[in-house]
Amino acid sequence: MTKLIASLAAFTALTGAAAAADLPRRAAPPPVFTPVPVFTWTGAYFGINAGYAFDASSRSNNSTFGVPFPYAAPGTTATFSNRSQDGFSGGAQVGYNVQFTPGSGVVVGIEADAQYLDFGRGRNNAFVSGAVAPGYYVTDPRGLSSLDYFGTVRGRLGYAFDRTLVYGTGGFAYGSGSADRSFGGYAGNDSFRTGYAVGGGIEYALPTDSFLNFFRSSAVTLKVEGLYVNLDRNTRNQGALVVNAANNFPVAYSNVGRRDDEFAVVRAGLNYKFGSY
């Protein structure tokens, strides 16, 4: 009897083990999927830029003007050239972009900038044949050389290839000069001008882990841009030619109508963009 009970117990144990072996194993938990962030150009930004500006007119700036008596000896002439119609340009910009599809896609935006402009220390210098009366000097009556600053408000339209953006731009432009050299040497001589600017460029967004991206949490972008700026001058008022040095007041004007102020700017910029992804 005892042997029978032991045999039944052993059989029952073996049967239970076999049944347990047939049970399905518990499935391992699925791996956690972490999506890779997709870069977008959407967001506000601000930054700085610096570059080179130069005369973009198709006409020669070389001109000779007769200096009238009694401000100079009879027959005195002043010759101005375009040798100083180029120089440093630098400033700051602020803007906002919208990208319609993350990653690659169409990007639209708006940008405003303000720029310092220096067309050279000798921008109003002239070669004088004869003698100018003491207490007077001659200045370039055509105006482009006396620009001290300009700014633009432009739209931008481009296409993004992930972190690279190629774009065109265009919109409103303005410019003026300081009181002692604005558009012919006289602040009241219609110094503030408006016009338009067009151009294009390419911009690249640094990865957040780049050693050049010192903000880390948001994108830093680098750009190279070219602009053509035309500030309408038409023939309203003629440029000052002879100026009283004591009070910087013009006493004689040229009889040559003004042309448009046309110049180009090639510049590099750095932007800090809010919201990388």
pLDDT of the residue at 235: 47
- pLDDT tens profile 134-180: 999 887 766 555 678 899 999 999 999 999 999 999 999 998 875 44
**188 falls in which pLDDT band (50, 70, 90)?**
very low
Domain boundaries, the chain: 39-273
Give the lowest-confidence range in 124-128, 185-189, 204-208, 273-277.
Answer: 185-189
Q: What CATH architecture does domain 39-273 belong to?
A: Beta Barrel (2.40)
Q: What is the pLDDT of residue 209?
A: 74
**Residue 61 banded pLDDT, cuts 50, 70, 90:** low
- Give the residue with greater pLDDT, 109 vs 38: 109
The reported pLDDT for the residue numbered 110 is 98
Greater confidence (67 vs 199) lies with: 199
Please compute the mean of the pLDDT values over residues 183-191 and round it to a whole number.
45
- The tens digit of pLDDT for each residue in 6-48 reads 555 555 555 555 554 454 566 666 666 555 668 899 999 999 9
Look at residue 148 in the predicted model and tell me its pLDDT.
81
Per-residue three-class SS string for the chain: CHHHHHHHHHHHHHHHHHHHHHCCCCCCCCCCCCCCCCCCCCEEEEEEEEEEEEECCCCCCCEEEECCCCCECCCCEEEECCCCCEEEEEEEEEEEEEECCCCEEEEEEEEEEEEEECCCCCCCCCEEECCECCCEEECCCCCHHHCCEEEEEEEEEEEEECCEEEEEEEEEEEEECCCCCCCCCCCCCCCCEEEEEEEEEEEEECCCCCCCCCCCCCEEEEEEEEEEEEECCCCCCCCEEEEECCCCEEEEECCCCCCCEEEEEEEEEEEEECCCC
- Measured CA to CA, the distance from residue 207 to residue 39 in angstroms comes to 9
Residues in Cβ contact with 18 at an 8 Å cutoff, skipping those fewer than 6 apart: none
Chain segment 247-263, per-residue pLDDT in tens: 878 888 776 655 557 88
Question: Before 70, cis peptide (omega within 30)?
Answer: yes
Residue 250: the pLDDT is: 82
**Tokens for 66?**
């007769």
pLDDT in tens, 194-250: 899 999 999 999 877 777 666 665 788 999 999 999 987 654 445 678 888 888 788
pLDDT for the residue numbered 228: 96
The more confidently predicted of residues 63 and 100 is 100
| pLDDT at res. 90 | 96
Mean pLDDT along residues 78-90: 77
Q: What is the pLDDT of residue 208?
A: 74
Cα–Cα–Cα angle for 28, 31, 35, rounded to 5 degrees: 165
How confident is the model at residue 182, as a pLDDT?
40
When pLDDT is averaged across residues 53-59 and rounded to a whole number, the result is 76
Longest Cα separation, the chain: 150
Distance CA 206, CA 257 (A): 49
